[in-house]
Amino acid sequence: MIQQHILLLDLKDDPASIAAYESWHTRVWPGILDSIRRAGIHEMKIFRAGNRLVMLLDTDDSFDFEAKGRADADDPLVQEWETLMDHFQQSLPFAAPGEKWVRMKNIFSLNDLSADV
């Protein structure tokens, strides 16, 4: 069963930095794409408004955020990519210490509403 996750992150509010970040995402390294797919992520999309990013993940039942984090920590290529991306990113004001992408909580779904409401 496919599950959707939505995450937020801010970029540094600098037009040149934002342009560079977008440019890197037109040429993501193949090994990074492989690590994303190996984790059980079927689709990943990143949207931007100003310096705010929204990431949508479609995952299968094998996906686990903690397992992905451990795998990324052990992968030198992923660590190199993350270090590069850190130059452009900044934590959200309400993020936990060390937290980059913040998971959003689903608070409403039109399709989940009961017909009795």
CATH value at residue 97: 3.30.70.1090
Residues 37-49 have a mean pLDDT of: 98
Residues 27-46 have a mean pLDDT of: 98
| Rounded distance between C-alpha atoms, residue 68 and residue 66, angstroms | 5
Question: What is the domain extent for residue 49?
Answer: 3-104
In a domain, 97, yes or no: yes
In a domain, 55, yes or no: yes
In a domain, 20, yes or no: yes
In a domain, 114, yes or no: no
In a domain, 113, yes or no: no
Answer yes or no: are the C-beta atoms of 37 and 114 closer than 8 Å: no
Q: Who wins on pLDDT, 116 or 37?
A: 37
Residues 33-56 have a mean pLDDT of: 98
Per-residue pLDDT at 6? 98
Residues 15-19 have a mean pLDDT of: 98
Say how many domains are in the chain. Answer: 1
Per-residue pLDDT at 115? 55
Q: What is the pTM of this model?
A: 0.91
In a domain, 40, yes or no: yes
In a domain, 111, yes or no: no
Q: What is the tally of helices (H) and strands (E) in the chain?
A: 4, 5
Q: Which helix (H) or strand (E) holds 17?
A: helix 15-24
Mean pLDDT, all residues of the chain: 95
Q: What would the pLDDT profile of 61-71 be if each residue is shown by its tens digit?
A: 999 999 999 99
pLDDT at residue 85 tops 70: yes
Residues 39-53 have a mean pLDDT of: 98
In a domain, 116, yes or no: no
Per-residue pLDDT at 116? 53
